[in-house]
Amino acid sequence: MAVKGILLLGNPILREKSEDITVFNNELINLINDLKDTITDFQQRKKIGRGIAAPQIGILKKVIFLSLPNRSFALLNPEIIWQSEEKIDVWDSCFSFDVAFFVKTKRFKSIEIKYQNEIGESKKEMLKDDLSELLQHEIDHLYGVLATDHLKNNKDIILREEFEKRYT
């Protein structure tokens, strides 16, 4: 459909709670396609990124689009229904930070989520490690929570250029 502008850190819309999807129609398909086009464009330009949430393009709806190496799909009304006791430390960035920096966060090592697909079918998935932390990050967006909110120590922030020198 269209590449949309991504709202940046400081935009108050990123702090608002999103609404559930209750109608599965062409308008929803258009939103999913906009998210797909936007993440594809961002990945091509910035060489990074796996997921985007509708609030990041200014739409306060519970829609996430994931673009993974072997799978791309939308998750509607996603919800974490179980989480492991074990947590992992991850370096987290965000399209809304223009991936200019990373913050160290703690995320659950494993989660189980339930969500709906684009035609309203209910789905459940167990996720661990990098996919677990990715979905936690994207679901946070639906509730106005950003990765910077998980920062516990102001020494756990690093610019992308330095991150790439040290960790990639």
The set of catalytic residues is 138
How far CA 109 is from CA of 64, 103, 137, in Å, comes to 20, 17, 13
| Beta-carbon contacts of residue 46 (< 8 Å; ≥ 6 apart) | 98, 99
Per DSSP bridges, beta strands 71-83 and 110-116 are antiparallel
Q: Which of 25, 9, 20 is nearest to 92 (CA)?
A: 9
8-state DSSP, 152: -
